[in-house]
Structure 1
Amino acid sequence: MTMLPLSEVKARLSEIAEEVATTHERVQITKNGREYVVLLAAEDLESIEATLELLADPDAQDRLRQADADIASGEVLDERAVRGLVSRRHHQQSR
């Protein structure tokens, strides 16, 4: 993570924001030599928030554990089976 003083960020905000949005590298901004705020891509923030939401949901955690157990035991669907399920679900929703 890059660390820049607030004064530099003010002078180069458009350039730095474009770089953050493109590279997804966060920029830690300091004020008076101390940590102040972090600039990160909106897409990355959305991803972090979605992850936190999943981690806070006990049912989602149970489903993830079950999925891991299914994978470990070989209970998985191949591509053809998944496509069939998606197609049937799409057909049911379009009625």
Structure 2
Amino acid sequence: MSIQSLAAVKAHFSQVIDEVAGTHERVTVTKNGSPVAVILAVEDYESLMETLEILSDPRAGTEIRRAEEEMAAGKVYGEAAVRAALAARRR
């Protein structure tokens, strides 16, 4: 993540946008030395929003914890079993 002043971002806005979109690096924009905004790629923003949505759902949190406990206990599935389960869902 880089930190740039508002003046620098304004002077090279198109370049900053291209860099953010191409590298997925965030840019923190400062005004009078204080951070005031962050520029990030749309894909990264959407990913953050999806993560927040999942984490705010208590049922999803419970399912994630249960899955982690099952993995820690060695209850895992191989590729063939996963493919078979997915194929069964499609029917």
- TM-score range with shorter-chain normalisation? over 0.9
- TM-score, structure 1 length as denominator? 0.89
Whole-angstrom CA distance in 2 between matches of 1:36 and 1:71: 41
Deviations 1:9-64 (A, max 9, x none): 11211111111111111101111222111101111111111111111111000000
CA-based RMSD: 1.0
Show structure 1 runs of 5+ residues with no match.
none
Following superposition, the deviation at residue 3 of structure 1 comes to 0.9
Aligned AA for 2:70?
D
Show structure 2 runs of 5+ residues with no match.
none
- 3-state SS, counterpart of residue 3 of structure 1: strand
After TM superposition, the structure 1 stretch with the greater mean CA deviation from structure 2, 58-67 or 5-14, is 5-14
| % identical aligned pairs | 46
Aligned AA for 1:13?
F
- 3-state SS, counterpart of residue 74 of structure 1: coil
Q: Does 1:62 align with 2:62?
A: yes
Q: Which residue of 1 aligns with 2:39?
A: 39
Name segments (4+ residues, structure 1) moved above 6 Å: none
What aligned pairs does 1:1-95 form with structure 2 within 5 A after superposition?
Answer: 1-90=1-90, 92=91
Following superposition, the deviation at residue 76 of structure 1 comes to 1.3
- TM-score, structure 2 length as denominator? 0.92
Whole-angstrom CA distance in 2 between matches of 1:6 and 1:67: 45
Whole-angstrom CA distance in 2 between matches of 1:3 and 1:72: 40
Aligned AA for 1:25?
E
The number of residue pairs the alignment matches comes to 91
- 3-state SS, counterpart of residue 45 of structure 1: helix
